[in-house]
């Protein structure tokens, strides 16, 4: 504003001076008097009628210029005052925004040494800017070690140490010792949220602090470490203790990945876990995530991954993901495959049944199975026909299964509607492949799920038998009794691998060389493939 007033005033002053000189020349008066301040005052007074408008305009131009200069001087003083105010009010040894600091007596004091000894071997904790600190997350990403408290988007308290270390290069224990006098120390950022404010303030230290840092590899995308950091501020800030650092942007809750956290790394993790279930055991070599796109507002995403198999084949898998009440998950039936390079000559090849010629496929209706109502979540997203206790048949797509009802999307005319079906009304569910799923009610006996389907293969005991019948025993099937696997298909079983690991789920497929186990997970299910040679035992679950 001040600059514009000065420009307008000076321009008007020049124009009005030229106008007075022209008026004086046309009347035979001397025009040079108007170039000298106040020299033309007498001439203007004697010829007021001739010069009054130009004279008044010149005075207005002078006043405009003077006001602009005055405002400029006032704004300059206010700027200097506001810049000096934080410097005078800062209670620490470092002015806000300054990158260099002088060490304080606290850094090398006996008090700091006692605090360091007291915190050794304990979870990372301390005091930052006068507030107690207990870490919620430590991450080493892009060479910056971040120690933060608070689970919001902006942490309540946070320390960032610019290490320029690549996590992949940390293959053994690595240590870093910094003394207050070191000139080439890593930059340390201390951030905190002032009371009543939503955005943090930050102080930067390039020297003057003391630090002992150790990092060592722990697990995939995890590092274990210890830290002793004494900072030279007036609040005697320090951090001491052990921690686990992550090298990705995943968030964890109770030791499990938080699938509700919106970040490309979450989508990559979900896709990687899904792809791990799509191949027989031992067939998958590695998975490389090439591209992740997340549309937060729409709750959808796409992931493109490169899959390397042990037979030398390389495939590209494209997956669609969606966010629901259980977090991010792969949309059923959305995966697309493209072969980049074929398997090595002489190696076994994985064959997609969907790509086989029609004459090679042997369609077979699976045997009926019995499920509890919550277990119907395994058929989420599938086309089914629900038989109710009223005798109605409801065709549609299952869109969600709750504790006491399910959502069924039904076609109506050219559109569709969603209908809630109570759990007590569902008698059975007919799948698209012809398999019938009988729904077990609350009043059904515990052994109903273990009864063998009435296919005529099991004879009832003679009526004259006097010995009391023994309680039914869940069948246990090993590799030496392969024909008995067919009796367990469609039942809930526990599979024990050769290494002792166990999984519980529905045995949905029995082939000559492997079996398929469907494990309910979230709003869907995940399929695991087991080679027969890798199975130690399969046992039906007792209900």
Asked, for residue 75, whether it belongs to a domain, the answer is yes
Cα torsion for 492, 495, 501, 504, to the nearest 10°? -10
Asked, for residue 421, whether it belongs to a domain, the answer is yes
Per the listing, tokens 């960032």 go with 160
**Count of domains forming the chain:** 5
Asked, for residue 225, whether it belongs to a domain, the answer is yes
What is the Cα–Cα distance from 437 to 385, expressed in whole angstroms? 10
Pair 176, 202 in one domain: yes
Pair 390, 498 in one domain: no
Band of residue 186 on the pLDDT scale cut at 50, 70, 90: very high
Give residue-wise pLDDT tens across range 460-516: 444 444 444 444 444 444 445 556 677 788 788 888 877 777 888 888 878 777 788
Give residue-wise pLDDT tens across range 404-422: 888 888 887 666 778 888 8
Least confident of 18-22, 269-273, 282-286: 18-22
Pair 239, 268 in one domain: no
Q: What is the pLDDT of residue 114?
A: 92
Q: What is the pLDDT of residue 469?
A: 43
- Show the beta-strand stretches assigned E in 180-310: 188-192, 201-205, 210-219, 222-230, 238-246, 252-253, 256-257, 284-295, 300-309
Band of residue 128 on the pLDDT scale cut at 50, 70, 90: very high
What is the Cα–Cα distance from 96 to 187, expressed in whole angstroms? 15
Q: What is the pLDDT of residue 470?
A: 44
Of 219, 248, 277, the residue that ends a domain is 248
% of the chain surpassing 90 pLDDT:
25
Of 38, 53, 88, the residue that ends a domain is 88
Of the candidates 76, 58, 71, the residue with the CA atom closest to the CA atom of residue 10: 58
The residue that leads in pLDDT, 302 or 409, is 302
Give residue-wise pLDDT tens across range 322-351: 998 889 999 988 899 998 988 887 666 666
Pair 114, 242 in one domain: yes
Entry field: residues in the chain: 543
Of 294, 312, 346, the residue that ends a domain is 346
Q: Please give the model's pTM, rounded to 2 decimal places.
A: 0.43
Pair 482, 422 in one domain: no
Q: What is the CATH number of the domain that holds 319?
A: 3.10.450.630
Pair 235, 264 in one domain: no
Least confident of 63-77, 150-164, 300-314, 522-536: 522-536
The per-residue DSSP string of 64-107 comes to: HHHHHHHHHHHHHHHHHHHHHHHHHH--SSS-TT-------TTT
Q: What is the pLDDT of residue 253?
A: 77
Pair 7, 133 in one domain: no
Asked, for residue 453, whether it belongs to a domain, the answer is no
Asked, for residue 105, whether it belongs to a domain, the answer is no
Range of 479's domain?
473-543
The per-residue DSSP string of 345-389 comes to: TTS-----GGGS-GGG----PPPPEEEEGGGGGGGTT-EEEEEET
Least confident of 166-175, 218-227, 415-424: 415-424
Asked, for residue 458, whether it belongs to a domain, the answer is no
Of the candidates 301, 247, 305, the residue with the CA atom closest to the CA atom of residue 272: 305
Give the mean pLDDT of the chain.
79
Pair 307, 184 in one domain: no
Quote the tokens at residue 23. Answer: 């008026």
Q: What is the CATH number of the domain that holds 407?
A: 2.30.30.100
Pair 11, 46 in one domain: yes
Asked, for residue 467, whether it belongs to a domain, the answer is no
Pair 296, 216 in one domain: no
Pair 272, 212 in one domain: no
Selection from 248-252, 452-456, 459-463, 520-524 with the highest mean pLDDT:
248-252
Asked, for residue 204, whether it belongs to a domain, the answer is yes
What is the arithmetic mean of pLDDT over 57-77? 81
Q: What is the pLDDT of residue 214?
A: 95
Band of residue 95 on the pLDDT scale cut at 50, 70, 90: very low
Query: Residue 303: pLDDT above 50?
Result: yes
Pair 318, 266 in one domain: yes
Band of residue 94 on the pLDDT scale cut at 50, 70, 90: very low
Query: Residue 232: pLDDT above 60?
Result: yes
Contact at 8 Å (CB) between 355 and 408?
A: no
% of the chain surpassing 70 pLDDT:
77
Query: Residue 266: pLDDT above 80?
Result: yes
Query: Residue 356: pLDDT above 80?
Result: no
Q: What is the pLDDT of residue 462?
A: 43
Give residue-wise pLDDT tens across range 29-53: 666 656 666 666 666 767 777 667 7
């Amino acid at each position: 504003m001040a600059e514009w007033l000065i420009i307008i005033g000076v321009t008007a002053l020049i124009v009005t001076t030229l106008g007075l000189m022209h008026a004086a020349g046309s009347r035979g008066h001397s025009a040079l008097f108007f170039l000298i301040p106040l020299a033309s005052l007498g001439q203007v007074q004697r010829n007021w009628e001739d010069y009054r408008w130009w004279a008044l305009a010149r005075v207005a131009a002078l006043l405009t210029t003077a006001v602009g200069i005055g405002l400029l001087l006032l704004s300059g003083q206010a700027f200097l005052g506001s810049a000096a105010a934080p410097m005078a009010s800062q209670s620490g040894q470092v002015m806000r925004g300054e990158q260099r600091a002088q060490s304080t007596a606290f850094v090398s004091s006996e008090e700091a040494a006692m605090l360091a000894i007291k915190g050794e071997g304990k979870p990372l904790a301390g005091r930052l800017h006068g507030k107690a600190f207990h870490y919620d997350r430590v991450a080493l990403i892009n060479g910056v070690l971040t120690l933060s408290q608070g689970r919001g988007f902006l942490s309540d308290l946070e320390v960032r140490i610019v290490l320029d270390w690549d996590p992949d290069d940390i293959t053994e224990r690595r240590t870093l010792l910094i003394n207050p006098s070191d000139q080439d120390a890593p930059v340390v950022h201390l951030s905190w949220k002032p009371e009543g404010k939503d955005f943090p303030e930050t102080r930067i230290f390039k020297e003057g602090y003391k630090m002992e840092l150790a990092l060592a590899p722990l697990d995939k995308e995890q590092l274990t470490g210890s830290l002793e950091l004494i900072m030279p501020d007036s609040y005697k800030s320090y951090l001491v203790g052990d921690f686990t650092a992550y090298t990705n942007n995943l968030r964890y809750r109770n030791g499990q990945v938080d699938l509700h956290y919106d970040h490309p790394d979450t989508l990559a993790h979900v896709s990687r876990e899904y792809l791990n279930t799509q191949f027989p055991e031992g067939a998958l070599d590695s998975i490389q995530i090439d591209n992740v796109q997340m549309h937060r507002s729409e709750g959808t995403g796409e992931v493109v991954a490169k899959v390397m198999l042990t037979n030398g084949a390389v495939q590209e898998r494209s997956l669609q993901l969606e966010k629901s009440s259980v977090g991010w998950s792969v949309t059923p039936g959305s995966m697309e495959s493209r072969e980049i390079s074929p398997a090595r000559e002489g190696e076994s090849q994985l064959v997609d049944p969907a790509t086989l010629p029609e004459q090679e496929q042997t369609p077979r209706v699976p045997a009926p199975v019995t499920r509890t109502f919550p277990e119907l979540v395994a058929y989420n997203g599938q086309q089914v026909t629900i038989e109710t206790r009223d005798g109605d048949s409801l065709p549609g797509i299952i869109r969600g299964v709750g504790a006491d009802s399910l959502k069924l999307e039904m076609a109506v005319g050219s559109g569709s509607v969603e209908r809630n079906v109570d759990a007590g009304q569902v008698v059975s569910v007919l799948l698209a492949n012809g398999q019938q799923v009988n729904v077990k009610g609350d009043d059904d006996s515990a052994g109903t799920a273990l009864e063998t389907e009435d296919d005529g293969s099991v004879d009832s005991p003679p009526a004259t038998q006097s010995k009391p019948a023994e309680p039914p025993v869940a069948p246990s099937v090993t590799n030496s009794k392969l024909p008995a696997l067919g009796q367990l298909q469609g039942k809930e079983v526990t599979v024990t691998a050769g290494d002792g690991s166990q999984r519980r789920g529905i045995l949905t497929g029995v082939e000559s060389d492997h079996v398929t186990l469907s494990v309910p997970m979230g709003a869907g299910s995940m399929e695991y493939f087991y080679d027969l040679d890798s199975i130690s035992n399969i046992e039906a679950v007792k209900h």
